[in-house]
Amino acid sequence: MIEIYTDGCAIPNPGAGGWAFVVYRDDVEIHEEHGGLDESTNNAMELSGMLNALRWLRANRVAGVIPTIHCDSQYVVKGCTIWRTGWQRNGWKTKAKKPVANKEAWETIAALLDQQPKLSVRIQWVKGHAGVVGNERADELTMVGAAEASGQTLDELQGEEDRLREFYRGGR
């Protein structure tokens, strides 16, 4: 069994961005990657996590196994599993005839999923910050990617994230 967890962050949003994915085979971590940008958005980094996981899958296929990618972004999961085909059919426009945000990343994701031989993969949503080991590990690595890209320390970024969470909870 191959399970992959992807994640992305931007602190604040937009701000220092990080992406990550972690690969597990039979519940043992066998691979991880992370990266980031000094300035990005949360959605762009979530997409980068998925994009890099799909690239890894293409390069490291395992015969007879259908991997599952877990992602805590509904935007990314629904984009990959539901919206993508409609966007492609409509020339990368939404139902409202507006250009799809993050079009280049979506085009690359579509190409990775659709090119032959077809990539067999399950993509499903996982609740973030709920104690799921792979999701928590990917979340940790997004912070490392954001810190490396922005020149901040992990403590500085974590402090900023904690302040933002408290602010949005109403603790202004």
Whether 129 is catalytic: yes
Active site (annotated) includes residue 7: yes
User: Which one of 18, 32, 35, 46 is the catalytic residue?
Assistant: 46
Q: Coil, strand or helix: which one is 17? A: strand
- Name, in order, each residue with C-beta under 8 angstroms of 72's C-beta and a sequence gap of 6 or more: 7, 125, 126, 127, 128, 129, 135
For the chain, the maximum distance between any two Cα atoms, rounded to a whole number of angstroms, is 52
Residue 155 falls in the annotated catalytic set: no
User: Is 139 an annotated catalytic residue?
Assistant: yes
Set 29, 39, 86, 129: catalytic member: 129
Strands, E, within the chain: which ranges?
Answer: 2-11, 15-25, 28-40, 68-71, 122-125
Q: Which of 36, 49, 139, 145 is catalytic?
A: 139
- Among residues 32, 35, 72, 134, the one annotated as catalytic is 72
Q: If residue 98 lies in a helix (H) or strand (E), which one and from where to where? A: none
Cα–Cα separations (whole angstroms), residue 38 to 7, 48, 101, 145 = 17, 14, 20, 10
Catalytic residues: 7-8, 46, 72, 129, 139
